[in-house]
Structure 1
Amino acid sequence: MSDLANKIVILVTGGSGLVGSAIRWEWIFARSSEGDLRDPEAAKKLFEKYKPTHVIHLAALGNLFGIDLILADNSVVGGLFKNMKYKLTFLRDNTLINDNVLQTSHETKVKKVISCLSTCVFPDRVQYPLDETKIHLGPPHESNFGYAHAKRMVDVTNHAYHEEFGSSFTSAIPTNVFGPHDNFDLEDSHVIPGLLHKCYLAKKNGTPFTVAGTGKPLRQFIYSRDLAKLFIWQLREYDEIDPVILSVGENEEISIKQVADAIVKAIGFEGDYKFDTTRADGQFRKPASNAKLLRLIGNFTFTPFDQALEETAAWFVQNYDKARIGQVPKANEPE
């Protein structure tokens, strides 16, 4: 794109991290401690401080992109059970954050914004595989009610800004993201980091490793370092307002049991390992097509799942003392 020939300043809301030195751009990784983006004045101060020309706004992915690129913000995010418990909080706070980021980007004449959606925005009842045309064809799954509706409105808002002002605001829809620098909090994390931490503690304390649910649901997972590369491609090459799914193919779905098995192997856990079938599974599957991505980008080599998981587990074990692990129960306390 021609505007990238000039100096650009890319603001990544809420994160901190490293971008390869070969990228000749100035990257700003603003931490959530610099301002609560639910507050419009805080958003304005952040933009005034850094004067970004481009913004990567990734609500709800957490700090996942440590080595290549950290892409995050301080929106409200959590796993399945928090999503079901705090529907209004997830809806209201994420709506405020997204509105403030986009409106401030418009007011400060930001050239391009990429916001992050999630596959949970898609309807609960829809023909698979999911693709970019099916976002608004019905209500989302009840377990993601608040968060999903807030994220859907980002797509609606992007089109409204473009139609009224010509703004280049677009979005991406990654599938389940994991990798080094993730949020490994036992209460607030997503499935892979949460299970990694749980298995690590089970090995350390000599306690059982229990996985919530049956292990049967299927998911597509994308390594955070692969996703970082795709976001850089999208920033440079993708000019549509419609979102694009960033994911491995739908033929690469993995069951939660396969995930747990891989974690047991990566952590070297040899104790009692079981599934708590009294706990909710959530949506059984929601396969997403990456046909549009591959049509636009051409060949792209995704990191094999087992390799990505082993690298993530190794990073977590080696960096446990400084990883985001939240409140950890003592060995004799229930989880």
Structure 2
Amino acid sequence: MNRTARIYVAGHSGLVGSAIIHRLRECDCENVIVRSSKELDLRDQTAVNHFFATERPEYVFLAAAKVGGILANSVFPAQFIYDNIMIETNIIHAAYKSGVKKLLLLGSSCIYPKFALQPIKEEYLMTGKLESTNEAYAVAKIAGIELCKAYNQQYGTNFISVMPTNLYGPNDNFDLASAHVLPALIRKFHEAKVNSNSSVDIWGTGKPRREFLYIDDLADACLFLMDEYEGSEPINVGVGEDISIAELAELVAGIVGYQGNIVYNAQMPDGTPRKLLDISKLTALGWRPRIVLEDGIRKTYQWYIFDNLESQNL
């Protein structure tokens, strides 16, 4: 990817997009294009086509998406499938029409079957039933992968799909109604410490296992793959190690400094029992993550306290 090229980051203000912007600036990329959701509604096909025809980006990072945890996915499935399919369809088609050199679609590890063999290889996609608590989002992301594959096949485009594991880091969403598990735990334990609560309630049994990738590592992997990977098959991005939710809760509580009890509410859903990605395809290309989980959580908690709490009145 030519560092002087026009590079469009869709979803630049979100967790993934903001990290990609930061990494691009570190690489001295001079022509990074962004638009807020107020300036450009990515669900509006006419507006997206006009944007691409006017701005003529050469490379696209498609990080824009409607995202959320188990609660948000359960309550708003129609919005999750509609918004994400519209965003992907409009950008991918406009990228083809305007002659974009390369596009990178950010997907999610939730695309894989609920009971997939572990660690999960890319070829396990669509070999089993999805986890019901995030099925709408997963279907939309699978549609994005298939769009990239179909456009590559029919039109000769160079569109790639990247499937990251669970992400976390600065600029994450800490709203308990829509947050993923790690930022939700950070907020819960912080508030419990501040309020001297005797216990913290956590959804599920604590038994499911998850893999967590620090957002700066994902951004670095995205730039690496934009340079080094071509192909229609998705490629996993992760760390190759997982941890139980109970172990994660203990780790977060320790970093935050909360010393009360942790109570697991087994009446609430656990989600997928285990989700660990096979990253051998990526490591064979020469990329590996650098941030270990404990260090990443400390960085995220520091950001939450000093950069985010006051502005969001949390």
Matches within 5 A, 1:67-86: 73=64, 75-86=65-76
Query: Residue 6 of structure 2 contacts residue 58 of structure 2 at CA under 8 Å; is this kept in 1?
Result: yes
Alignment partners' CA distance in 2, 1:11 and 1:167: 17
% identical aligned pairs: 30
Segments of 5+ residues of structure 2 without an aligned counterpart are none
Q: Which residue of 1 aligns with 2:257?
A: 268
Aligned length: 305
Alignment partners' CA distance in 1, 2:2 and 2:88: 28
Q: Which residue of 2 aligns with 1:124?
A: 114
Alignment partners' CA distance in 1, 2:261 and 2:128: 42
Query: Residue 3 of structure 2 contacts residue 27 of structure 2 at CA under 8 Å; is this kept in 1?
Result: no
RCO greater where, 1 or 2, for CA within 8 Å and sep 6 or more? 2
Matches within 5 A, 1:1-335: 4-5=1-2, 7-16=4-13, 17=18, 18=22, 19-48=24-53, 50-58=55-63, 73=64, 75-207=65-197, 208-249=199-240, 252-297=241-286, 300-321=288-309, 325=312
Query: Residue 173 of structure 2 contacts residue 179 of structure 2 at CA under 8 Å; is this kept in 1?
Result: yes
Equivalent residue letter for 1:221: F
Q: CA deviation at 1:196?
A: 0.8
Alignment partners' CA distance in 1, 2:100 and 2:42: 17
Query: Residue 15 of structure 1 contacts residue 32 of structure 1 at CA under 8 Å; is this kept in 2?
Result: no
Shift in CA distance, 301/115, structure 1 to aligned 2, threshold 3 Å: closer
TM-score, with normalisation over the residues of structure 2? 0.91
Segments of 5+ residues of structure 1 without an aligned counterpart are 59-72, 329-335
Give the helix-richer structure, 1 or 2: 2
- 3-state SS of paired residue (2:28): coil
- 3-state SS of paired residue (1:36): coil
Equivalent residue letter for 2:267: T
Query: Residue 176 of structure 1 contacts residue 220 of structure 1 at CA under 8 Å; is this kept in 2?
Result: yes
CA RMSD of aligned residues (A): 1.9
Alignment partners' CA distance in 1, 2:247 and 2:51: 42
TM-score, with normalisation over the residues of structure 1? 0.85
- 3-state SS of paired residue (2:124): coil
Shift in CA distance, 203/6, structure 1 to aligned 2, threshold 3 Å: closer
Q: CA deviation at 1:255?
A: 0.8
Shift in CA distance, 215/25, structure 1 to aligned 2, threshold 3 Å: same
Alignment partners' CA distance in 2, 1:293 and 1:301: 10
Alignment partners' CA distance in 1, 2:116 and 2:176: 32
The one-character-per-residue Cα deviations of 1:3-62 (angstroms, maximum 9, x if unpaired) are x3473111111214433444344222332222221111232243345331111012xxxx
